[in-house]
Amino acid sequence: MISFSLVVGFAGAIFSVLAFPSPSPQLSRRVLHESRHDVPTGWTLHKRADPDATLPLSIALVQSNLHNLDDYLLDVADPESPNYGKLWTPEMVAETFRPSKESVDVVHSWLSTDGVHPNRIQLSDNGAFVRVNVSVTEAERLLGTEYYVYEHSDGTIRYGCQHGYHLPEHVSRHVDFVTPTLHFGTFTASYIQPGRSALSKRSSHASTGAKHRASLKETFKAIGTKASSGVGCDQEVTLDCIRQLYSFDYNIVAGSKNTVGVMELGQENYNGNDLDVFFKSYAPDQVGDRPKLVSVDGGSENSGQTNEDLTGESNLDFMLLMGLLGKKQPVSLYQIGSDGFFDELFAGFDRQYCQDIGETSDSSCGNVAKSNVISISYGSGESGPSYYLQRTCNEMGKLALAGITFVYASGDDGVSAFTDQCLSANGTVVSSGDGGNRFFPDFPGTCPYLTAVGATEIKPGASTSDPERAPAGYGSGGGFSNVFPRPSWQARAVNAYLSKYAPSYGMDVYNRSGRGYPDVAANGANIVIVADGQPGTTGGTSASAPIFAAMITAVNDARIAAGKSPVGWINPALYSSTFANIFNDITDGNNPGCGTQGFAASPGWDPVTGLGTVNFPRMLSRFMALP
């Protein structure tokens, strides 16, 4: 083992030639590190790469202790744990998962042995990855691969390799992934144009193939000029209807010490006038209140936006969250720049992750203030390189360790991730008519470190004291992950469903060993909002997420007022026996998709409405009983 001195954590450290003795030959054989079978959707192979083109090679090192993430999380989030609520500081998180010095040494030693002069090699902040600019010829030699130029239908050009790339066996263990190689669009710059710095992330983001979805399925139905036509909660769900449904009538006492935010993407903006028209009817003392803008990756506010397609999601989120929590709870708006996606938010929270996804220059990189609860109503399908899905999910886990509760809308297309987009036998995304017989789970909905919220509705003619059902107008997103195995904390609930109520589809239609989602449910149909000055109703799990986020924020308020920590990752608690009777079980309805009736809401947990809707006072008392 060659040793050399190196200051880890020093920004852009250049390895000193002197500190590095001449290397001995490495004899380790090469192994396939990552592979891919087809060119990602939307891309075509254009030509062989120019051997002299420069590639900004970035070698992401494996994080230390990642295999312990679940144990660390359960230690602070399992209600049985003596350390419940003892959240980690961001510094503890960064320190614990920082790649080891051994990983840095091994990669450095490999590169220099293979002919890369040490003064060309840089180590990023926190020692998370090693960077070196290489020619295509050098990259092909180092990685045992061939480079090509790919072109996207939108004109974007990327350099990448075709089938896979290789690393020496002893190096492979220390490397998460190398870019640019196979991951189009997920990570940044694929080549350096002469005289220019590396391509920014913007041009690459359109190319993930993953669609951005705001879960707002029910089209807006105007309800006349008055804000409420006075009909029942089965037809128009107002803030009062929601309060009645879940006995959620809470008076905020620690608002200045507590935080909650909603993520919105790109052009999707709330309209300030719409908020005021809504507040005037349902929360008169909040007229004039606005969320506090937190710009992420250049996201900007346009509170004069009037296009209903662009105001619908954001209007709904803030009318519900602000309206339910009242004037005393400040609410943040995490507005992501126009080409970004939810991973930009984590990049804003965590500088190391930001660099891993190639966002090194953005001022929001690692500087975005966190909130105790974050509501997200945008998603995508669980597809693409599983390393990316895992990396993004682990990032949520690390943030959860420091106390963030991610509340996520489970999707509005039942067992498909978008309208009739399903998976074929070989895992490609196709419509059900074209051989898409496998259900297509939602991402990040399948990540175990967030709380996925499905939707319910009040049955026609019923009142808020009657049991709700799964929405009849659209399929509340749910199912089983193909990437994340079923966590121990939900095994009892999910196994009970699978053994008693699972439909008789073939074993290949959905993955019985995967993480089941959603976790909980909340109303998501006939919700009264205001769009372009006009009151009306809308629906989707987009409503369910902010409703549940409001309730968890109220729990945090009470805990903070009592000198306790925010709840952070709540899933192990929700599924524990102590919390069993906080739920209103939903046993009616289903979530069709992919040419099937999907799953049926059933007694206990089910992949339509999770554990059910919550009775707020009971949930509050359980969380207050915890340390």
Residues that bind ligand NAG (CB under 6 A): 37-38, 56, 122, 131-133, 192, 197-198, 424, 426, 428, 430, 435, 482, 485, 511, 513-514
Type and span of the H or E element at 475: none
Residues sharing a CB contact under 8 Å with residue 91, sequence separation 6 or more, in sequence order: none
Neighbours of 576 (CB within 10 A): 15
Distance (Å, whole) CA 379 – CA 441 = 11
Neighbours of 188 (CB within 10 A): 25
Per the annotation, the verdict on 313 as an active-site residue is yes
Name the catalytic one among 176, 274, 317, 350.
317
Nearest approach, Cβ of residue 449 and ligand NAG (Å)? 15
Nearest approach, Cβ of residue 156 and ligand NAG (Å)? 19
Nearest approach, Cβ of residue 364 and ligand NAG (Å)? 20
CA atoms within 13 A on the CB side of 208: 24
Name the catalytic one among 124, 383, 542, 544.
542
Give the total residue count for the chain: 627
Nearer to ligand NAG, 111 or 573 (CB): 111
Nearest approach, Cβ of residue 430 and ligand NAG (Å)? 5
Could you write out the DSSP letters of every residue in 63-88? PTTGGGHHHHHHHHH-TT-TTTT-PP
Q: Please give the backbone phi and psi of residue 237, each rounded to the nearest 5 degrees, phi first.
A: -90, 105
Structure tokens at 578: 């102590």
Distance (Å, whole) CA 341 – CA 263 = 10
Nearer to ligand NAG, 39 or 254 (CB): 39
606 marked as binding residue: yes
Q: Please give the backbone phi and psi of residue 84, each rounded to the nearest 5 degrees, phi first.
A: -50, 135
- Give yes or no for a contact between 532 and 462, defined as CB atoms under 8 angstroms apart: no
- Of 259, 245, 248, nearest to 292 (Cα)? 259
Q: Report CA Rg, the chain.
A: 25
- Give yes or no for a contact between 477 and 442, defined as CB atoms under 8 angstroms apart: yes
- Of 115, 191, 116, 107, nearest to 151 (Cα)? 191
Per the annotation, the verdict on 621 as an active-site residue is no
CA 321-560-243 angle, to 5 degrees, is 35
Amino acid sitting at position 371: S
Number of H helices, E strands in the chain: 16, 29
Nearer to ligand NAG, 43 or 248 (CB): 43
192 marked as binding residue: no
Checking phi first, is residue 520 left (phi over 0); if not, alpha (psi -120 to 50) or beta? beta
Continuous H helices in 357-385: none
Q: Helix, strand, or coil here: 37? A: coil
Q: Helix, strand, or coil here: 118? A: helix
Q: Helix, strand, or coil here: 205? A: helix
Nearest approach, Cβ of residue 50 and ligand NAG (Å)? 16
Name the catalytic one among 78, 176, 313, 343.
313
Nearer to ligand NAG, 36 or 559 (CB): 36
Beta bridge partners of residue 61, listed in sequence order = 175
Residues sharing a CB contact under 8 Å with residue 178, sequence separation 6 or more, in sequence order: 33, 34, 57, 58, 59, 60, 143, 165, 167
Q: Strand 129-135 vs strand 147-152: parallel, antiparallel, or unpaired?
A: unpaired
358 marked as binding residue: no
Neighbours of 507 (CB within 10 A): 7
Nearest approach, Cβ of residue 469 and ligand NAG (Å)? 29
Nearer to ligand NAG, 283 or 422 (CB): 422
Nearest approach, Cβ of residue 433 and ligand NAG (Å)? 11
Burial environment of residue 298 by CB neighbours within 10 A (0 to 12, 13 to 18, 19 or more): middle
604 marked as binding residue: yes
Nearest approach, Cβ of residue 201 and ligand NAG (Å)? 15
Which residue, chain included where needed, has tokens 């470190």?
449
Nearer to ligand NAG, 460 or 485 (CB): 485
Nearer to ligand NAG, 46 or 131 (CB): 131
Nearer to ligand NAG, 122 or 338 (CB): 122
Nearer to ligand NAG, 129 or 406 (CB): 129
Nearest approach, Cβ of residue 526 and ligand NAG (Å)? 36
Per the annotation, the verdict on 274 as an active-site residue is no
Q: Helix, strand, or coil here: 544? A: helix
Q: Which residues are annotated as part of the binding site?
A: 585-586, 604, 606
Residues making up the binding site for Ca(2+): 585-586, 604, 606
Residues annotated catalytic, as ranges: 313, 317, 542
